[in-house]
């Protein structure tokens, strides 16, 4: 049975993007974490953000879920020690994007 994905409406109302940092030994570690996150109910998207430094990586997980439960899942299923670096609500991201677009239009007018 596949995990339940949030609807577009749920994402707009309650969606979050969580950046998670974890120890990475090789690319299979990254793939394992990505797969574990994608299989969590409520997760709609998982993106690799960057390799922070040697031995560490970051992923951005978007959806409607509890970040603490995702961290626990990563430990339980992948034995990865992970930590939340940043949590952003999706509706805040959209508001910030709209403000930046408006500022850009004002600069073009002047």
Alpha carbon distance 2, 18 (integer Å): 22
pLDDT in tens, 85-98: 999 998 875 555 55
Average pLDDT over residues 32-48: 92
Query: What's the predicted TM-score (pTM) here?
Result: 0.76
CB 61 within 8 A of CB 17: yes
| Site of tokens 């993007």 | 17
**Number of other CB atoms surrounding residue 54 within 10 Å:** 6
For residue 94, what pLDDT is reported?
Answer: 57
Alpha carbon distance 30, 5 (integer Å): 22
Question: Looking at the predicted structure, is the pLDDT value of residue 65 above 90?
Answer: yes
Question: Looking at the predicted structure, is the pLDDT value of residue 102 above 80?
Answer: no
CB 73 within 8 A of CB 3: no
Which positions ≥6 away from 55 have C-beta within 8 Å?
23, 24, 25
> What residue ranges define each of the domains in the chain, with the CATH number in brackets?
10-109 (3.30.70.100)
């Amino acid at each position: 049975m596949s995990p339940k994905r949030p609807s577009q409406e749920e994402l707009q109302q309650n969606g979050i993007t969580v950046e998670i940092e974890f120890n990475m030994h090789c690319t299979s570690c990254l793939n394992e974490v990505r797969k574990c996150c994608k299989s969590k109910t409520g997760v709609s998207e998982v993106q690799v953000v960057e390799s922070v430094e040697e031995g560490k990586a970051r992923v951005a997980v978007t959806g409607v879920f509890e970040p603490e439960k995702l961290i626990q899942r990563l430990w339980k299923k992948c034995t990865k020690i992970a930590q939340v670096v940043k949590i952003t609500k999706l509706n805040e991201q959209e508001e910030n994007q709209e403000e930046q677009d408006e500022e850009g239009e004002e600069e073009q007018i002047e």
